[in-house]
Chains A and B, each alone.
Chain A
Amino acid sequence: MHLNEKELEILSIIETNSRIDISDLGKMADVPESEIELTLQKLQEMKVIVRYATIIDWSKVDEHQGVTAMIDVKVTPKRGVGFDEVAQRIYKFKEVKSVYLMSGAYDLSVIVEGSSMNELARFVSEKLSTLDSVISTTTHFILKKYKHDGTIFDQTEEDKRIVVSP
């Protein structure tokens, strides 16, 4: 589908700040407020805007327990449905956060989250590797997140400019 310039502009602004005030968004994009509401609604209906989310650095929260792993999965595609059917069987598990079809040495990249390494190990051995089409899995646990979705977690670059300059 083709979007117009204003729609692209709105998406580009809310992509990094979905909490922005509608009236401020209207000013920035140079679009009347009423039109902003309609555009957002339309983009949601078209599933271009899928969900409004928040990036949280859970590693700073003591109460949070959890591990994330990236799993390289090799599968046998099926005639007629290709990779879609097996991808669907995988992404329906609630532990699975992302599934991507990849070029290169393996087929699906699967990101899973669980409360412990044991839980994820069980998921891989009992649920994932036992699927008919899955040939092999390689699991990588994430140790630390430095940057996620374009955001550096511990950004320390403060404004170093002098306060008034010509």
Chain B
Amino acid sequence: MIKTSFISKTVSELKPSGIRRFFDLAANMEGVISLGVGEPDFVTSWSVREAAILSLEQGHTSYTANAGLLELRREIADYMHKSFEVTYNPADEIIVTVGASQAIDIALRATVSPGEEVLIVEPSFVSYAPLVMLAGGIAKTIQTANENEFKLMPQQLEEAITPNTKAIMLCSPNNPTGTQLGKEDLIKLSQIVKKHDLLVISDEIYSELAYDESYTSMAAIEEMRERTIVINGFSKGFAMTGWRLGFVCAPADIASAMLKIHQYTMMCASTMAQYAALEALKNGGSDVEEMRSSYRRRRNYIVKSFNEIGLDCHTPGGAFYAFPSIRLTGLSSEEFAEKLLMEEKVAVVPGNVFGDSGEGHIRCSYATSMDQLQEAVKRIGRFIEKYKVE
């Protein structure tokens, strides 16, 4: 008979993701309009899919270099330079990873020692805190506020830093709030980061989906390249979520530490996906531009519509999420999301699963067709009429 649990202490202490419960609820219902999807509604463009097929026909089925195809790393270096004016050496400063998620994992594991704190700005993507814990670090959260449009304020950062703080995770444009940190915001934050000698792990996966202000990478801010790990990938901007392909750029010493983990745990990213990504970077620019315009229009539509039906919603600068307040109903995020699903068959994600400061909000992905968005707005409007208490 087994007397002790075989599960490690660290893993037993991890909370399961709050999103899972909503998936289970929504997955078994008919006629649901889902605003709960955290991925593009575009299928990967045909030229990219075609390039992957060609790579298979040509027999590119073996491993690549640990860090990825050199040709792809060169394209990534080129892309980083053209898009963000940051220079990385494809030979030893870029690693192609299995999605941006794996890039975050190796970035944390390569830099965080047991007991060191990593600051996480909430509401945030659900993986950050668990990944910090798996790396042996301590996840310390900072709660941003609706009245600041969920931007991290410099004094909040200053106050959260302790002698134990090693790094801060930033994500702009943010999942779930859509909030984008502009150049001025980044400069202010960078001054504090430099003062306390911290590392920034900058999740820039939504950088292609910035609608109002041209995108600035944290690594492009003065003296930040040497203390920034840039996470990016093909999932969101190039609509390639299922390919699982991301990349990480960092100064050579950090990149080489990450590569150690990567070579032991992953060997290399999928070869076929790397060939597809090569095509996406070489010729995918116009597809990205088209998708960006389409998201921008839908963002404009949903934000205006939400405000019209009484949901207070700031205009998110990027990504494909709106994060309206549901305070006027007096319901908690979980209650709101559950009742909305049961009564109007619209799936949204309750804001609290992204952190305490997400309570009182819901995440609505507008990466779905205009027809569906129009119907969803109608249903949510009806729901608000029924539940508003103000």
* Interface positions of A (Cβ within 8 A of B): 9, 12-13, 17, 20, 24, 27-30, 157, 159, 161-166
Pick the contact of B41: A9, A159, A163, A165 (CB < 8 A).
A159
Contact across chains for A162 and B374 when beta carbons are under 8 A apart: no
Contact across chains for B39 and A161 when beta carbons are under 8 A apart: yes
> Given the complex of chains A and B, what is the CA–CA distance between A9 and B34 in angstroms?
27
Contact across chains for B19 and A24 when beta carbons are under 8 A apart: no
Contact across chains for B293 and A162 when beta carbons are under 8 A apart: no
**Residues of chain B contacted by A161 (CB below 8 angstroms):** 34, 37, 39, 41
| Given contacts A13-B297, A27-B301, A164 and B349 within 8 Å (CB-CB) | yes
Contact across chains for A24 and B37 when beta carbons are under 8 A apart: no
| Given contacts A24-B301, A27-B300, A28-B300, A163 and B347 within 8 Å (CB-CB) | yes
Across the interface, name the chain B residue whose C-beta is closest to A28.
B297
**Residues of chain B contacted by A17 (CB below 8 angstroms):** 370
Contact across chains for B305 and A27 when beta carbons are under 8 A apart: yes
**Residues of chain A contacted by B126 (CB below 8 angstroms):** 166
Dominant secondary structure of chain A at its interface with chain B: loop
Pick the contact of A12: B37, B38, B293 (CB < 8 A).
B293
**Residues of chain B contacted by A166 (CB below 8 angstroms):** 17, 19, 38, 125-127, 175
| Given contacts A24-B301, A27-B304, A165 and B347 within 8 Å (CB-CB) | no
Sampled A-B contacts (13; CB under 8 Å): A20-B370, A27-B301, A27-B305, A28-B301, A157-B43, A161-B37, A161-B39, A163-B26, A163-B37, A163-B347, A164-B34, A164-B347, A166-B17
**Residues of chain B contacted by A159 (CB below 8 angstroms):** 41, 368
Contact across chains for B34 and A163 when beta carbons are under 8 A apart: yes
**Residues of chain A contacted by B175 (CB below 8 angstroms):** 166
**Residues of chain B contacted by A29 (CB below 8 angstroms):** 297, 300
A102, chain B: closest CB distance, angstroms = 25
**Residues of chain B contacted by A162 (CB below 8 angstroms):** 23, 27, 37
B22 in the interface, Cβ–Cβ < 8 Å? yes
**Residues of chain A contacted by B262 (CB below 8 angstroms):** none
The interface bits of chain B over 273-287 (1 if a CB of A lies within 8 angstroms of the residue's CB, else 0) are 000000000000000
A157, chain B: closest CB distance, angstroms = 6
6 cross-chain pairs, A with B, having the tightest CB-CB distances, nearest first: A164-B36, A28-B297, A164-B23, A27-B304, A163-B34, A27-B301
